[in-house]
Chain A
Amino acid sequence: MSAKPRIRLPDSVTIGEIIEIKTLMAHPMETGARRNADGTLVPRLLLHTFEAKFQGKEVFRAALHTGTAANPFISFFMKVPGPGEFEFIWIEDGGGRTIERKTLKTT
């Protein structure tokens, strides 16, 4: 069983408030420079892009490179325009996508 990404949103937010969104994703972030015990190169397998959309509109994007640690933790800030749905997308080499959705409620 592989791990599911973790998303942390504040429990209660008001419109106009600046909030921190925290994400944690399980991934080996293989750089392509490491060798196996038998000397063969371990093929590169990185998450190269992280995107966050709110109500379908991009609010944050990050390009990740070989210097990013395994199991990357990414947090960012956003001014809350209103209630809505987040979509978090991690894109891997080869195009594999992990998508996680989470609803933000406002009071």
Chain B
Amino acid sequence: MADAVRHQSAEIAASPVRLGLRGMLPSFALAVGGLMAVALLAVSVGPVDIPPGTVARIILDRVPGLSVEATWPARWDDIVWELRLPRVVLAGLAGATLAYAGATYQGIFRNPLAEPYLLGVSAGAGLGATIVIVSPVAYSFGMLSPVPAAAFAGGLAAVALAYVLSRTAGAPRTTTLILAGVAISSLATSAITFLLVTYTDRTAPVLSWLLGGFNTATWSRVALLAPYAIVCGLVIAPYGRVLNVLQTDDEQAAQLGVPVERVRFALLALASLATAATVSVAGLIGFVGLVVPHAARLAWGPDYRRLVPMSAIGGAAFLILADTLARTALEPREIPVGVITALVGAPFFLALLRIQGRRSHA
């Protein structure tokens, strides 16, 4: 079976690039349209009842050259422009990033269980944030908070450490890397736990950071994440063919002219960078990076030239929907969005596996 997969991947790898890309356009357009529809829905609903028509007029009002008679309270303008829109955009960016990073990780490790937190980004970021929150340094979740910076640094440090550790071992590289990542994750997680029980007066803020979410999303956070999310995504996307080649074994990939080690390192670094940026503004949101690439693979096949962009679009739509549930299901209360992604994601994942199983037995 593994051989069959490799064989198939090798065929994909060898197939001309242009054919695949052209065939992609219709489904790509469809997916983008779907994402737009989801985003519109998310902006129109919320715990505060603003009629969708009014939401549309509030948005159109700020489009240059358009003027709409403002018949709504000023507060609604704030809610739509300063709270809901940045929230939807941030959730979309975070979902896209986690999903394409997950697809990239799965491609690099040839492992369906790989996800962007595999090498310790999440635990490292969590440790960085926790250290700042329990330290006597004044911190705030506001704009100039040192928390996202510490989380970002911690996430990258964890992956870098895992990478360095894995190089000192001699066994097959990717396996060692995963093991090093697991070890670093456990180490960072136990450090977080120790800090949590040591500084119990800080437990609540640490936990609410770790749970993550978009309740306090702002345009400035969008501005923090967007460069990493977009640049890393645009750089990774053209490597779809290389990721296809990597699905064969390293030797074959090298024969096909891929500098395996270098490419693997570069893609890993990019995916981790984007993930660290996401975690630093959104906290730890699980399941998106694991489930969405699989769903995309099921819908559009294993070709990484499609898989990476389609995962990004699907991840954005999925997390926007999950966050919409998070802020509307129990209003006026919020539910941590990570709870929803797991609650929706796990059964969805199982359903996917069933479908996949039926297909392969048919």
Asked if A and B are interacting partners, one says no
Chain A interface (Cβ < 8 Å from any Cβ of B): none
